[in-house]
Amino acid sequence: MARRWWQPTRRDAVIAALTLCGLAVAGFLVALSGVYDIAASRSHLEITRWFLEFGKRRAVATYSLPVQAPPSLDDRNLVRLGAGHFRDGCASCHGAPGEQANPIVRAMQPAPPPLSVRAPTWTAEELFWIVRNGLKYTGMPAWPAPRRGDEVWAVVAFLLQLPEMDAARYRELTRLPPADTPAVAACVACHGDSSSPPVSRLVPRLNGQSQRYLELALRNYAHGQRPSGIMQPQAARLNSRTIELVARYYAGLKPASVPPADAEAGQIERGRGIATGGFEERGIPPCLTCHGGHALATYPKLAGQSEAYIAGQLHLLQKGIRADTPQGAIMTPIARLLSDRQIEDVAAWFASVEP
């Protein structure tokens, strides 16, 4: 039999093992000596930078393989929701159209890149994985509520549009408030008020909700009992007095509805049956028992909310994501008894009802 051009021998294996051990020892001695400069005032050696970038790219490509992007990433409501979080959570490090990143952040090593340039170099699935999980040793944090993939996709939807966005469009999407905006005005930027609707149909309208419910919701967000990578950071920085002021402000506003999306008459009628009568044989109580005009003080009034928001919350309840609060624990088994069509029906009916 002809010998292959190279056939590993026992001697080759020993040499390879010794080489690897030598490299490991050399690396340890370099670390032990302290000669490698880790100061953020200087960049990595070019070969170090290349190696880290290569490893990062390969890791993200590998771990994002199971991720499947939803078909609606161009939905304007999703983009608007993502824009609000980008403004509050990303722009200070990465900059934004018409805005530079914070000078202190720009002195980081590695410096956070401008995402209008860097985002197009990743796929939507890879962006989702990065936003959700963060990146070690870069200053990029993980999403505060990792189970809220719906929120992460909103940020990805915004990032996909960012490269073509100018400052005017960015400001319109984010309703950018001044830096010294009081808490109430900051809430209005997303949730609207008597003169403006919420920034997205995925955001609830708070006008006329009970003060007790709003205070409870903000405290649940602040303590992480109600997971949301968007709302948790906002609520956590509010003290008890500010929470009371925000809740009182919205409770005092006249209830208002979001214009409903087009829905079939049959869909609305089916939703009415669920909301007013429930399904006793399946253990589904009428929604209006807790969420009607005389709703319990710790439950939200749903009339006039957008169908996208109501359906989204019911899907979160189905997955058990909101089960850590007393109200969520009650609603989770009920939501799991509803089919996707029934969720769409009841959401459409509540959206069609004037509050």
Measured distance between the N- and C-terminal CA atoms of the chain, rounded to whole angstroms: 88
Question: Measuring CA to CA, which residue among 211, 230, 210, 232 is closest to residue 220?
Answer: 232
User: Given 251, 281, 299, which residue is the final one in a domain?
Assistant: 251
Per-residue pLDDT, 88:
87
Interior angle at CA 162, CA 156 and CA 165, nearest 5: 150
Question: Which domain CATH number covers 148?
Answer: 1.10.760.10
- Distance, in Å, from the CA atom of 210 to the CA atom of 346, rounded to the nearest integer, reads 22
Asked whether residue 90 falls in the same domain as residue 156, the answer is yes
Asked whether residue 226 falls in the same domain as residue 164, the answer is no
The structural domain count of the chain equals: 3
- Distance, in Å, from the CA atom of 266 to the CA atom of 280, rounded to the nearest integer, reads 21
Domain hosting 290: range is 265-352
Reading the chain (355 residues) residue by residue, the pLDDT tens digits are 455 666 778 887 888 888 999 988 988 888 888 887 878 888 888 888 899 899 999 999 999 999 999 988 999 999 999 999 999 889 989 999 998 888 888 888 888 999 999 999 999 999 999 999 999 988 899 999 999 999 999 999 999 999 999 999 998 888 766 555 577 888 998 999 988 899 999 999 999 999 999 999 999 999 999 999 999 999 999 999 999 999 999 999 998 887 777 778 789 999 999 999 988 878 889 999 999 877 789 999 999 999 999 999 999 999 999 999 999 999 999 999 999 999 999 999 999 998 8
Per-residue pLDDT, 335:
95
Per-residue pLDDT, 345:
95
Asked whether residue 216 falls in the same domain as residue 297, the answer is no
135 assigned to some structural domain: yes
User: Given 142, 174, 206, which residue is the final one in a domain?
Assistant: 174
34 assigned to some structural domain: no
Per-residue pLDDT, 265:
77
Asked whether residue 194 falls in the same domain as residue 282, the answer is no
Asked whether residue 243 falls in the same domain as residue 282, the answer is no
23 assigned to some structural domain: no
Per-residue pLDDT, 5:
62
Per-residue pLDDT, 344:
95
Per-residue pLDDT, 177:
60
302 and 289 Cβ atoms separated by less than 8 Å:
no
47 assigned to some structural domain: no
Name the β-bridge partners of 96.
99
232 and 145 Cβ atoms separated by less than 8 Å:
yes
Per-residue pLDDT, 286:
93
Asked whether residue 222 falls in the same domain as residue 246, the answer is yes
281 assigned to some structural domain: yes
Per-residue pLDDT, 226:
95
Q: Which two tokens stand for residue 88?
A: 């509050």
Residue 332, C-beta contacts closer than 8 angstroms, at least 6 positions apart: 317, 318, 320, 322, 323
Residue 266, C-beta contacts closer than 8 angstroms, at least 6 positions apart: none
13 assigned to some structural domain: no
Asked whether residue 167 falls in the same domain as residue 121, the answer is yes
User: Given 220, 251, 282, which residue is the final one in a domain?
Assistant: 251
Kindly list the distances between the CA atom of residue 343 and the CA atoms of 216, 310, 336, in Å, as whole numbers in the listed order.
25, 8, 10
Asked whether residue 192 falls in the same domain as residue 214, the answer is yes
Per-residue pLDDT, 350:
95
Asked whether residue 86 falls in the same domain as residue 161, the answer is yes
pTM: 0.86
Asked whether residue 245 falls in the same domain as residue 274, the answer is no
317 assigned to some structural domain: yes
271 assigned to some structural domain: yes
- Distance, in Å, from the CA atom of 11 to the CA atom of 197, rounded to the nearest integer, reads 75
- SS3 (DSSP) at 279: strand
Cα four-point dihedral sign 306, 309, 313, 318: positive
Per-residue pLDDT, 329:
95
Per-residue pLDDT, 180:
52
Asked whether residue 293 falls in the same domain as residue 348, the answer is yes
Per-residue pLDDT, 176:
64
Asked whether residue 156 falls in the same domain as residue 229, the answer is no
